[in-house]
Structure 1
Amino acid sequence: MSYSLGILDQSPLIEDATNEQALQHTVALAQKAEQLGYTRFWVSEHHNSETLAGASPEVLVSYLLAKTTSIRIGSGGVMLQHYSPYKVAENFHVLASLEPGRVDLGIGKAPGGLPLSTKALQYGTLNNGEDFEERLTFLQRLIANTLPVEHELNGLQATPLPKIKPSLFLLGASPKSAELAGKLGIAFVFARFINSDNDVLNEAAKTYRTHLPNGHFAVSIATLAAPTKEEAQALVGEQKITKVHLASGRSLTLQSVELAEKFGQESGEAFTVQQYDADILFGTPKDIKATLDAFHKQYQIDEFILHTPVLKAFERQRSFELLSPVNLHLQQKEAVS
């Protein structure tokens, strides 16, 4: 089947690892992913977290680029509501100038933390990140160096201008996000490990293709492979995902009930917390490949970015090894660049 595979890593603190050890595990996993034939390796952004060490993807991306030679490295993603699009463009232009053709800029809409850290990130700003679409459009134009003549900042450039621009992706878990990516003409990644409703996935895929028939549609999916289906099922166990539902209508996925309740309390809104069975694609490599093949055909998916739930370091790495393009004998689809 013609699709590519990537990895999303959040630098989890597992098995009593320190922050330093968790980040070095991410470095080692990126190097292993390169050896195993994965197309790209992404790192995430989470703030004020006691369970995840990945707070600054642009810094970690630069280090990973220096520690690898060929695999694409990127953010999954930079939470644009907190930052100046101009500075984000400059950061990734520097990276793309240092490592031409290897840099991905994934942009996320989520806060990446609890309301307290969001307040800290936006401290002193006026709009509090509420103009996301405007920020993303501005960032896209800065990357493409195509600010319109009538723009108040016409003539501005996010230097240095790299010969090969970083690839721009929008991350989301709804048809609305898919529509925005399609309208802007950029690649889209549906976060199925956050929203595993296949009806929503189907609508997002159709919406994206309506606006951008030949665009790059990817899905980040929770997977866990083991030598036998029985072992994989035992490892998955009764894992749950936790969501906090705010009175304003927003819903966010957190790592635990405690964090979800803390988010609700810090939000200042009425809220409810619910747990759901985690929809993790588990089994042998053959089992999982069959499902990926079916998803690829049904939803016209160009790429799967694998996200493995937090287990022991050995079990996570083994899963990525078992699902590697080399091990699955995949004829890789040419990746977006």
Structure 2
Amino acid sequence: MTIIYPSAAQIDEAAALLDAGELVAFPTETVYGLGGDAESPDAIARIYAAKGRPANHPVIVHLAPEADPGYWVRELPADAQKLIDAFWPGPLTLILKRAAHIPAAVSGGQDSVGVRCPSHPVAQQLLSAFHARRLASGKQGGVAGPSANRFGHVSPTTAQHVRDEFGGAVHVLDGGAADVGIESTILDLSRGFPALLRPGHVSPREIADVIGVAPKLPDGSDATAPRASGTLKAHYAPRTPLLLLPFSSIEAMLRRDGGRKIALVARPSSAGEWARAAHVHFVAAPEDPQSYARGLYGLLRALDRANVERILIEKLPETVEWIAVNDRLGRAAAAFEAEE
């Protein structure tokens, strides 16, 4: 399907809205973001209010390709510059010490800030247009942009997903379906060593190849880590109860719950006869992590509309290749753990 991107006039209109302190939902290669002026505490407050987001949960600043990341941080370490050269524009967020003139609201009150440069052409056009407007006043025009959904819910990967969340209350730029499908990798460089706070499309191995050292992986023991977007235990959740289980446990539940309509997401080789069971809404799980990630949020939103009582998802391999998808599924399932 051919995607018709917004015109130059539509991009300029959206940049003018940002300049006026309003919110604009825009596409990135990961998910759609709910954008506001990252140097305006009022605009940031509007983002938090629209999402129902806790005020201490930081948002990521999105930068135009021509913007200076050094404007946003106290210093730009050599490792940060290496990673920028390797992965920007792209789905990598860096956490660094926040410059004194950047409002604390964008960081949830912390002394750090997350910055990234997205690769989606519509995002780049919007960010460049806003950046050009703000340069006249000596500012850089960064856009604070968490995912464009209600806090804790499934992230949006199409413009329609955003409209489903907010109706006509938010101005939306349509850039087609997100190509990556899950949020950016978040790497903390604010404490003198690299630490992965949120896995994503850029893998720990790729990061290590650039900076020569493997980042510390999230294991729940890093008590000094800064708060970062999408790292709460329960997140990315559909409205339908979701369980993430080995297939042997799923099979036992399917036998027990024969009278209930159940969604099953599993490999066809595992599902066997259950793929054809009358009370099962079966979805074949993609075999590779990139395809799984790309379709994950759209799938969860579709299953919310499938009139099923619960969603059962087969656990994935515990390997580094699956770390990002496992992270999202684990947080989605955690939202329902208290109910079991």
User: TM-score by structure 1 length?
Assistant: 0.32
Which structure carries more strand by proportion? 1
Q: Rg bigger for which structure?
A: 2
